[in-house]
Amino acid sequence: MSYTLIGGPCEGCEAIFEYESEKELSNSDTSTGFFKAIAEKMIIHGTIFENDGKTPASNTILYYYHTDENGEYKNNKETGIWVQRHGELRGWIKTEEDGKYTIATQKPASYPNSRNPAHIHLTVLENNGNYYWIEDIYFVGDPYLSSHKIEAVAARTCDSGVIELKKINGILTGNRDNILGLNVPEYDGK
């Protein structure tokens, strides 16, 4: 299969290919941050839909990465081109027939000395070989999340793109659905 980056420039999108090829991907992933004693545990559930917004997207790979509780992309031991920049709080999922996914990780923090809201970066690889960034996950109540940012995020998500986290059994839990190709330049779904 050949791979095509669509949607314009995407720094680091090629990290989606950095998973161990022999590793069997599943529809759920747990980052090392989920097990850190000082971190706030977080689970994100969602469904990835085809471009029609209704049909679940199967065999779609979703790559995520984010900062730690100090707003930094730390890497303690892993090697690889992109882990050096994205840090160790990252992972890959691959949807099944129902398009559902689960990410268990820790809540990220804003970059140090910045007014950038906390977020999780996302890149998608469709089963046709197209890959591109999709809008980051942001969180309701973040003091740095402006109405301007919310409006910009909503253009490339199937909802507001800003999720509300609720504590369930002591773990922050939220939902984020995604529609493949939504407002992505050059997207034709083939």
Q: Which residues contact 20 (CB under 8 A, 6 or more apart)?
A: none
Domain count for the chain, please give it: 1
pLDDT tens by residue, 100-109: 999 999 999 9
> What pLDDT, on the 0 to 100 scale, is given for residue 101?
98
Average pLDDT over every residue of 87-102 = 95
| Residue 186 belongs to some domain of the structure | no
Q: 98: domain range? A: 4-179
Confidence of residue 169 (pLDDT cuts 50, 70, 90): very high
Structure tokens of 114? 């910045």
> What pLDDT, on the 0 to 100 scale, is given for residue 3?
92
Assign residue 165 the CATH number of its domain: 2.60.130.10
> What pLDDT, on the 0 to 100 scale, is given for residue 39?
87
| Residue 185 belongs to some domain of the structure | no
Per-residue CA distances from 109 to 30, 115, 131, 144, 173 (Å): 18, 11, 27, 11, 16
